[in-house]
Amino acid sequence: MGKECIVIHGNGTLCGEVKIAGAKNSALKLMAASILGCGESIIKNVPDISDIKLMSEVLSRLGATVRREDHELAIDTTDVDSFSTPYELVSKMRASISVLGPLIGRFGQARVAMPGGCQIGARKIDMHLVSLQALGVQFDVDHGTLIATTPHGLHGAQVMLEFPSVGATENMLMAAVVAEGSTLIENAAREPEIVDLCDMLCQMGARIEGAGESNIEVEGVALSDLGPCVHTTVGDRIEAGTFLAGGALTGGPVTVQRIDPSYLRMSVLKMRAMGCDVTTGEDYLTVMRTGPLKPTDIQTLPHPGFPTDLQAQFMLLATLADGISVITENVFENRFMFASELMRMGADITLEDHHAIIRGVEGLQGAPVSSTDLRAGAALVLAGIVAEGYTTVYDIKHIDRGYEDYAGKLRSLGADVVRQAVD
């Protein structure tokens, strides 16, 4: 398939109900965790997106068999006999690094290409390495490949993470579950995707307490005590937050279904403060707005703080608010590239270090823009829906990494959004 773009006819509205897919950031790690349980694991509610295809390829290269039927993956790890993940895969998707912990857990060793820089900041892996070293892992680097060995086996340890890194918490968990003795992870990440991973590991036979809290305790078990399992991925809070932002932008009402509202508490708080009505049920949220958007002050923080993955979508809301907003990005240093694309559509944004000062404008104009990353791409399509005239969003491969049928779902809510081949 050749390159495509998304063309949006503006002055549109979004109204209706949309079913939210399984969380990308959870499913990727659940797939990696399946390495630890020899046999066939079934993972349900897996989104049909390109990052999942890449992770399937990573697992296939290791010797696993991955079959997809609709939104269910059957991953048979019986014949996994390799512990190497090459640069050509890691460079396409940084989350490939999450096989490091499970490979060390299963083989006592791993060879994973070092991830390079990424457009949204330096994204180091020092905390992954420090925490695994505490468990007894030794690292060498050979021509860009990280070589992990455990000459004295894996043993439990007490580790305080410098920052509640999602990836470092996950990698450490997936090695600690088979380390000898107990492990305490202090200042652990508390994201719903961490809880989901711990749930799956416990179903496989691991012993973990405190998932979703800052201190996670792991009592190591023998690798032979872990087996395959059947697990359903949690809903994608970022996809849900993106559609809610769309509803807040156009007035809605928009209802996102199949998502636990407690995952989005901080975002809902901010939406309400911006003048939106948000109602919640057991597994849905509805947003609508009749008055003007009010300005906001947002700081991105680890969960349960405001998620960096919804920063661009809320910057778009702030752009059309009645007053001056400030957004501070604390998680990824370079995540304001979206602002310059939005300015091409008429936004008034000043960037100062990791702060963005956004002066609300009356409206946006359609323009050709580029998706600089996954979330920025999704937000630009929303911007096109409220802008005047036509907007073309290029580089939509980023959107396809994380949103299943984004254009189709927006069309089902009434927007005029189509994918087109780029000449």
Residue ranges binding ligand UD1 (CB under 6 A): 25, 28, 95, 121-128, 163, 165-168, 308-309, 331-332
Cα 114 from Cα 124, distance rounded (Å): 10
Shortest distance, position 163 Cβ to ligand UD1, whole Å: 5
- Residue 298 CA to chain centroid, in angstroms? 19
User: Which candidate, 227, 223, 233, 204, places its Cα nearest to that of 77?
Assistant: 227
Our CB check for ligand UD1 shows the closer of 194 and 393 to be 194
Helix (H) or strand (E) holding 166, with range, is: helix 166-176
Shortest distance, position 2 Cβ to ligand UD1, whole Å: 27
Our CB check for ligand UD1 shows the closer of 371 and 391 to be 371
Residue 70: C-alpha distances to residues 75, 177, 397 (Å): 14, 31, 21
Report the alpha-carbon angle 102-108-109, nearest 5: 85
Contacts of 283 by beta carbon, 8 Å cutoff, 6+ apart: 235, 257, 258, 259, 260, 261
Q: Are 374 and 401 in contact (CB under 8 A)?
A: yes
Shortest distance, position 13 Cβ to ligand UD1, whole Å: 29
Cα 62 from Cα 81, distance rounded (Å): 6
What sign results for the dihedral spanned by CA atoms 227, 127, 311, 121?
negative
Q: Are 48 and 400 in contact (CB under 8 A)?
A: no
Going by their DSSP bridges, the two strands 230-232 and 40-44 should be labelled as: parallel
Q: Are 149 and 136 in contact (CB under 8 A)?
A: no
Residue 111: C-alpha distances to residues 51, 52, 139 (Å): 21, 21, 10
Report the alpha-carbon angle 98-104-107, nearest 5: 130
Q: Are 363 and 357 in contact (CB under 8 A)?
A: no
Our CB check for ligand UD1 shows the closer of 49 and 287 to be 49
Q: Please tell me which residue in 5, 15, 118, 276 is annotated as part of the active site.
A: 118
Q: Torsion angle of alpha carbons 58, 32, 64, 176, nearest 10°? A: 130
Is 118 assigned a catalytic role?
A: yes
- The residue at minimum Cβ distance from ligand UD1 is 167
Shortest distance, position 15 Cβ to ligand UD1, whole Å: 28
Shortest distance, position 398 Cβ to ligand UD1, whole Å: 12
Shortest distance, position 44 Cβ to ligand UD1, whole Å: 19
Our CB check for ligand UD1 shows the closer of 239 and 309 to be 309
Cα 140 from Cα 350, distance rounded (Å): 43
- Residue 81 CA to chain centroid, in angstroms? 29
Shortest distance, position 25 Cβ to ligand UD1, whole Å: 3
Shortest distance, position 46 Cβ to ligand UD1, whole Å: 14
Our CB check for ligand UD1 shows the closer of 96 and 250 to be 96
Our CB check for ligand UD1 shows the closer of 113 and 125 to be 125
Tokens of 373: 């990353």
Sheet with 158-160, edge to edge strand ranges:
158-160, 182-186, 216-219, 207-209
Report, as residue numbers or ranges, the catalytic residues.
118
